[in-house]
């Protein structure tokens, strides 16, 4: 799930870091201008800048406004022999985000010469507090990254995590989680992402949009049904409450809902799904009904499942970028002072941007589709 561009950034980062730690780039020496250095290294300025930002954050270089970039006089050495404890939910369904975040955490930790110890919420809750504290001391645990979210403040694991006395980072948090838990967290503005998804479908000419939410506490990505209908109305669509469903994540349940939604009059021309994983089951139903995507009906997902681009009609989605969650979480463990209040010890919320990935599943507008017929 790591793209070539990320690998290139890492490559340049390691190349420059190794040159600094080996003394090939002496402390106090000035680096070439970004334009020249990018040319020397054979990369774009954007790629180089990303690598330099990481080196600066880790104390290897220092940027001086109006003067340039210098190798820091006292460079930080990568933390060695430390461990990041990673805790993920026990569920094993392919829709669980930890499947795509945890491996990336382990890879990035290794880049920083940190080890990882991965366990589940169920196992962690079984550990005695004294055993956890001994493990943290013996393994030099720098921090804990947990991929669990949506806390109410009464969870068993919450008290156990609070007792560890090490930084806890919620790698895929809800906006409210840091305030409830006291931990630092990384969150996406899911409410705004839902709005962008609706706008994208409307811009493609769709006014009758079938919406499949989940049956959990946030069925429409932090939007209520009323707010969803208002979004549709304000942007010129024709909201129909009969086209809005809350469905449990289950292949049979989603299949039944899709078939029922297709019978609503006027029929939907697009499906907006709670997640890319819901969308995959929608694809399956539409294929069995011999409906083409996007020629007969468009499909839009949310979350950015890395493999969704491999579908026969690559899925348009609001991409949360799971790999970036991991990168940000590891950064926060390495530099906890930035993300925890020095007076209260409370963790801060770090908002992560999302991106609209428009692919083939919404490529053809409704007018183009009608003309083609």
Claim to verify: residue 32 and residue 113 sit in the same structural domain: no
Percent of the chain with pLDDT over 70: 93
Segment 129-149 mean pLDDT: 92
pLDDT: is 9 or 2 the higher one?
9
pLDDT, position 103: 94
Does residue 78 form part of some domain?
A: no
Claim to verify: residue 169 and residue 195 sit in the same structural domain: no
Q: Where are the beta strands (DSSP E) in 51-91?
A: 61-64, 68-71, 83-88
Claim to verify: residue 225 and residue 271 sit in the same structural domain: yes
Long-range contacts of 3-11 (CB under 8 A, 24+ apart): 3/323, 5/47, 6/323, 8/43, 8/47, 9/47, 9/50, 9/51, 9/54, 10/111
Domain count, the chain: 3
With cut-offs at 50, 70 and 90, classify the pLDDT of residue 74: low
* Conformation bin of residue 69: beta by default, left when phi > 0, alpha when psi is -120 to 50: beta
pLDDT, position 108: 92
pLDDT in tens, 94-105: 889 999 999 999
Claim to verify: residue 226 and residue 302 sit in the same structural domain: yes
> Which of 269, 278, 170 is CA-nearest to residue 221?
278
Checking if the pLDDT of 257 tops 90, the result is yes
Claim to verify: residue 212 and residue 244 sit in the same structural domain: yes
Segment 28-35 mean pLDDT: 89
* Range(s) of the domain holding residue 225: 190-320+357-372
CA angle 140/51/324 to nearest 5° reads 65
Computed over every residue of the chain, the mean pLDDT equals 89
pLDDT, position 245: 95
Q: Where are the beta strands (DSSP E) in 180-269?
A: 184-188, 209-214, 244-247
């Amino acid at each position: 799930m790591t793209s070539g561009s990320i690998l290139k950034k890492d490559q340049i980062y390691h190349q420059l870091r190794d040159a600094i730690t080996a003394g090939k780039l002496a402390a106090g020496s000035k680096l070439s201008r970004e334009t020249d250095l990018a040319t020397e290294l054979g990369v774009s300025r954007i790629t180089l800048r990303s690598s330099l930002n990481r080196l600066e954050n880790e104390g290897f270089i220092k940027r001086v406004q109006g003067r340039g970039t210098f190798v820091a006089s006292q460079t930080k050495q990568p933390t060695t022999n430390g461990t990041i404890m990673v805790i993920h939910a026990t569920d094993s369904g392919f829709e669980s985000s930890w499947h795509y975040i945890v491996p990336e955490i382990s890879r990035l930790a290794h880049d920083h010469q940190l080890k990882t110890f991965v366990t589940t919420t169920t196992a962690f809750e079984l550990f005695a507090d004294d055993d956890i504290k001994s493990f943290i001391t013996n393994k030099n645990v720098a921090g804990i990254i947990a991929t669990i979210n949506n806390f109410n403040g009464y969870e068993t694991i919450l008290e156990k995590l609070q007792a560890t006395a090490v930084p806890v980072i919620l790698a895929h948090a809800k906006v409210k989680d840091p305030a409830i838990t006291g931990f630092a967290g990384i969150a996406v503005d899911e409410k705004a992402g839902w709005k962008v998804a609706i706008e994208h479908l409307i811009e493609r000419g769709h006014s009758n949009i079938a919406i499949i939410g989940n049956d959990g506490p946030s069925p429409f990505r932090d939007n209520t049904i009323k707010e969803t209908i208002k979004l549709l109305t304000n942007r010129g669509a024709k909201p129909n409450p009969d086209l809005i469903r809350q469905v449990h994540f289950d292949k049979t349940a989603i299949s039944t809902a899709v078939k029922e939604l297709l019978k609503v009059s006027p029929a939907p021309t697009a499906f907006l799904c709670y997640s890319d994983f819901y969308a995959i089951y929608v694809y399956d139903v539409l294929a069995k009904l011999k409906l083409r995507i996007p020629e007969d009906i468009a499909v839009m997902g949310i979350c950015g499942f890395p493999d969704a681009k491999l579908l026969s009609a690559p899925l348009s989605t609001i991409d949360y970028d799971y790999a970036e969650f991991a990168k940000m979480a590891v950064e926060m463990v390495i530099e906890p002072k930035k993300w925890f209040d020095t007076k209260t010890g409370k963790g801060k919320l770090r908002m992560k941007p999302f991106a609209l990935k428009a692919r083939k599943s919404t490529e053809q507008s409704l007018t183009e589709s009608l003309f083609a017929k």
